[in-house]
Chains A and B, each alone.
Chain A
Amino acid sequence: MTSIDLQQARLFKWKKFATEGAGRLIIFLVGSIILWWLISAFLIERPDRYLPSPLSVVLSSADMLYKGSLISFYSDTLIRLVIGGAVGIAIGIPVGLALGLNRFVADMFYPLMNFFQSVSGIAIFPVIVIWFGNSDTTVLIVILYTSFFPIAFNVLSGVRSVPVRYIQAARTLGASRFQVVRDVLLPGAMPSIAVGTRLSIGFAWRAVIAGEMLAGRPGLGNMIFSGQEFDNTAQILLGMVMIGVTWIVLDHFLLRPLESDTIERWGLVQR
């Protein structure tokens, strides 16, 4: 191999790293941190109060790690997110399916769902507190409630958007009603299920933070809130970064692969 070949091979590897998957993500993160640091160092007058540098955020996290509080905040929040979001989605999918399948059920429940969809999780918060106090249950219910609607409505519209032709084709091949749901409606609704799942988890993520702040349960949300109380801007930024990075990682390693194995493979969406 000549040196030019080698150079080109190296260049190619680098290009591949920069344009694909995790490589692109890493470059994006590193770039944002550098930009943040530049702004904090050169453009802000009292950075410790208004925009602490990445380094001071890292130091504050080291401090909290040392005390052990950071890990416990983070895991508390994640556990709430996973349980509340999973249950919300697990209820939302069959409800959306039932509404999409059956006119009668849809006519009965749709107005009710539509009503509650407009009443956000934060708006129901006070009444949940009255029922369950400032407890983890309260936070979980708010997350569940918030994540339920996006997935349910998306599954509903997804099922309705499946072309009648596909259903007829399956029926003439001998499919039962159940087999039509399994082989035609569910896969046909996959693009909407993917969108709904993404929205639901995104909504759940917001509900966790807001719920913790309002209910005063320990976690990332509460950590941000107390950061303001104690004028600890670095702690606030740390919380924000952890929220954002967790979301990006979740999206990148869980939702995206799920989509590329299904709807992209089937040519139902172009990326």
Chain B
Amino acid sequence: MSGEAKLIIQDLCHHYPDEYTGESVHALEGINLQVYENEFVAIVGPSGCGKTTLLNIVAGLLPYREGRAMVDGNEIHGPGPDRGVVFQEHAILPWRSVARNIGHGLELQRVPKEETRRRVQEYIDLVGLSGFEDRYPHELSGGMKQRVAVARTLCADPVIMLMDEPFAAVDAQTRITLQDELNRIVMATAKTILFITHSVEEAAFLGDRCIVFSRRPGQIKTEIKIDIPREERVWKDMASNPKFTNARDEILRLVRQEVTSDDEH
């Protein structure tokens, strides 16, 4: 991959303390990962393997003690606008209109009003929400809310965008549309993205690279390169794209191994 590493994770481990039993949950073990500029890295793995834990550490929402995590060369301490997060759902503010949600990051950074207005409009158009600027979240569908969430994160112009199963809560049809759109957005904005998902198809469709996690304690099992140009990534062409189907089947096989080896437990 060309470009420099925007996110560097070295020997990262994580244990959750359990206040009641005094034992701890070993969530992550020896994670080494780099995400390069303009790269789209997808992470898949069995439920409870520590994907969200990793993302929260990078987001700065979860303090870590073992290992290192750096964005743009800076050690991560707490959340910051250089790492934007798109959560699964229920994260845009109900008391802000679509436009004011999307412009919130710029407002917090005290970007001048006129520039904010211009950039907000740009991202509203990008995610296809023109005409909904003054609506409030409760007036939007689930898919539209996630578009707002994506636009809000992009508009703040982070170094890396972190997404934790952002499309898991919408219906299958909307999900496909949103995935196609995200692809288009990635082409248009050239963002660096760390994307977590349960869906093998989603990972193969969106990722330049797909990282497969083992079951808990989460470790990186393998990584698979998915060498399909962005322009060719459109859902209607995927069934006949051997690069896609091969990658998908391979990832599926690896994830299955983890899930079935769970039974021996």
Contacts and interface: CB of A to CB of B under 8 A. Distances in A.
A169 B95 contact: no
Interface in B68-94: 78-81, 83-85, 87, 90-94
Interface residues of A, number: 23
Dominant secondary structure at the B interface: loop
Contacts of B83: 172
A51 B81 CA distance: 69
A169 B108 contact: no
B89 to A, nearest CB: 9
Contact of B79 (A166, A171, A184): A171
Interface string A258-271: 00001001111000
B136 interface: yes
Interface string A55-86: 00000000000000000000000000000000
Contacts of A174: 79-81, 105, 108-109, 156
A170 B84 CA distance: 10
A78 B81 CA distance: 49
Nearest to B90: A165
Contacts of A187: 93, 95
A170 B136 CA distance: 17
Interface string A162-177: 0101101111111110
Interface size class of B (residues with CB under 8 A): 20 to 34
Nearest to A164: B61
B96 to A, nearest CB: 8
A168 B92 CA distance: 11
Of B81, B84, B104, B136, the most chain A CB neighbours within 10 A belong to: B104
B84 A173 contact: yes
Contact of B94 (A171, A176, A179, A267): A267
A190 interface: yes
A172 B108 contact: no
B256 interface: no
B94 A268 contact: yes
Contacts of A172: 59-61, 79-81, 83-85
A188 interface: yes
Contacts of B84: 172-173
Given A183-B104, A265-B136, A169 B94 contact: no
B3 to A, nearest CB: 23
Contacts of A183: 93, 104, 108
A168 B61 contact: yes
B105 A266 contact: no
18 contacts: A165-B90, A170-B93, A172-B59, A172-B60, A172-B79, A172-B81, A173-B104, A173-B108, A174-B79, A174-B105, A174-B109, A174-B156, A183-B93, A184-B93, A262-B95, A265-B136, A266-B95, A268-B94
Of all A-B residue pairs in the complex, the 5 with the closest CB atoms, nearest first, are A267-B138, A174-B81, A173-B105, A171-B79, A187-B95
Given A168-B79, A172-B61, A187-B95, 13 more contacts: A166-B93, A168-B87, A171-B61, A172-B59, A172-B83, A173-B105, A173-B152, A173-B153, A174-B79, A266-B94, A266-B95, A267-B136, A268-B95
Interface of A: 163, 165-166, 168-176, 179, 183-184, 187-188, 190, 262, 265-268
